[in-house]
Amino acid sequence: MKEDQHTEFKRLWKDEFFRELSAFANSQGGTLYIGVEDDGTIVGVKDAKSLLQDMPNKIKNSLGFLADVNLLTEDGKEYIAISVKPQEDGISYDGKYYVRSGSMVQELRGPELASFLMRKAKIHWDSLPHPEAKLSDLDDEAWNFFISTALENKRLNKSAKAESQETVLRKLNLMTEKGELTNAALMLFGKDIERWSPLSAFRIGRFGVNQADLIIHDNIVCPLVLMPDAVIDTLRTKYLVSTVGYEGLYRKETLEMPEEGLREIICNAIMHRDYMGTFIHMRVWADRIQLWNEGILPPTMTIEKLMEEHESQPRNPLIAKVFYLLGFVENWGRGYEKIRDSFEQAHLQVPTFEQVRGGFMATIQREVFQKVQGGQVTTESTDVQKNDQKSGQNTQKWPEKWPEKWPEKAQMIVEAISRNKSVSIQQLEEQLQIGHTTIKKILREMQAEGIIRRVGPDKGGHWEIIEK
């Protein structure tokens, strides 16, 4: 035996271990063994029979439920097994609520505790109504996008096109019988989603050597049905690189990581985040992207189970349903399978996932950007690069040496120039949020290092990246 999400070992009984029993009751259930070392070695307990008699009533009086308490014997040593089943109601110990996360016990606090208690009461935040909200609080563009896209994907009945907005909202349980809009309706289609959830923005930041070195950042605030596209577009234009090639006479740009998998990760963060908590944070580094949203997995779900076939357990089921109707996601728990497949097909590392800081984090390695940055590959995709070499076309490599004082900022400038050779100093200031004097100093150093050159006058000219 070994400790896991269903098993805990204790050498001696202490009343504080009611905490472990309450965590099992609030999660997937489990067994607490008394008289067993952490490594699974059975040492026994001297008062096993006394514990066997006393524990059922102590558990009932302290936690309010019945547990299965058994006396076991191995090699002449007696020990106790206390088995707890998952409980429908939230179980507290000493006024606090605990859940099991792997082999650890975690206390629930703040928004996570509120979400837990609502789930136990079979209530979801996104289904709660706002009596003061009106249909005029919804955004027409977002609503029209939903109707047209859901119909195009054949996931919404054709009759919805002729039905009133109120009728469709009622059918989707986004409006109550009393005519009150739910949190889900206001977040999905609201003109001002921060009015209903003040920390609902999707934050993106490009970082340099550490978290204090923030180079550029964006706050994306829009109706949730428009947010995945807004995030992808922002990443494509300001934060990620695209390989460029040609199919015949047609120019083709390919994002540095598979968009299908990236979009799935983004949609999951938007759907499953705790909207009573803080912002979604996407930190973009030179070597990786880390996407964090507040809200741990349901007690019956683990990271390992996510990677396998599993039932979908959305934190916000009404929001998730609309994302399904839009074709953003599937509703069969296949999201992580799609992520894995898309990255494997692109011959890239599969993203990793973990629960950290009261939330869920996905980490995506930027393998293509690292190769481009180090001059190992060109800005063209592998196949296009081979074709270009055959046809004698030159490909542009990234510099191997950056200005020592501003390496990350120099990289961002090169990325901006690669997208727009005519980019002005003022535009660079706005895009990178770097001061005018600093931008000019970096540009001078980059020209001195032979990384870039200015062709033509300040007005009307353009930048070129010098091949190495």
For the chain, what is the domain count? 3
Q: Which two tokens stand for residue 165?
A: 């907005």
pLDDT at 305 over 80: no
Same domain, yes or no: 127 and 246: yes
Same domain, yes or no: 331 and 219: yes
With CA atoms as reference, report the closest residue to 166 among 133, 192, 198, 208: 133
Half-sphere exposure of 95 (CA within 13 A, CB side): 0
pLDDT at 158 over 80: yes
- Per-residue pLDDT averaged across 239-259, rounded? 76
pTM: 0.64
Same domain, yes or no: 99 and 33: yes
In a domain, 2, yes or no: no
pLDDT category, 381, cuts 50, 70, 90?
very low
- Per-residue pLDDT averaged across 287-298, rounded? 88
Alpha-carbon separation of residue 96 from 99, 299, 359, 418 (angstroms) = 10, 16, 19, 55
Same domain, yes or no: 190 and 266: yes
314-341 pLDDT, tens digit each: 889 999 999 999 999 876 667 788 899 9
With CA atoms as reference, report the closest residue to 355 among 5, 1, 2, 3: 5
Name the domain boundary from 85, 107, 129: 107
pLDDT at 403 over 80: no
Same domain, yes or no: 354 and 431: no
Same domain, yes or no: 215 and 272: yes
Domain, as residue range, for 150:
109-397
- Per-residue pLDDT averaged across 359-374, rounded? 87
In a domain, 242, yes or no: yes
CATH of the domain at 413: 1.10.10.10
Half-sphere exposure of 137 (CA within 13 A, CB side): 20
- Residue owning tokens 């039932």: 311
Burial classification of residue 311, based on how many CB atoms lie within 10 Å of its CB (0-12 exposed, 13-18 middle, 19 or more buried) = exposed
Same domain, yes or no: 279 and 403: no
In a domain, 80, yes or no: yes
Same domain, yes or no: 69 and 190: no
Same domain, yes or no: 75 and 134: no
CATH of the domain at 24: 3.30.950.30
Of all residues in the chain, what percent carry a pLDDT higher than 70?
Answer: 88
65-119 pLDDT, tens digit each: 999 999 999 989 999 999 999 998 889 999 999 998 777 888 888 777 877 887 7
Asked whether the beta carbons of 276 and 115 are under 8 A apart, the reply is yes
Same domain, yes or no: 236 and 267: yes
pLDDT category, 454, cuts 50, 70, 90?
confident
Same domain, yes or no: 251 and 187: yes
pLDDT value of residue 376: 54
Query: Per DSSP, what are the bridge partners of residue 465?
Result: 452
Residue 84 φ/ψ, nearest 5 degrees: -120, 135
Same domain, yes or no: 232 and 361: yes
In a domain, 136, yes or no: yes
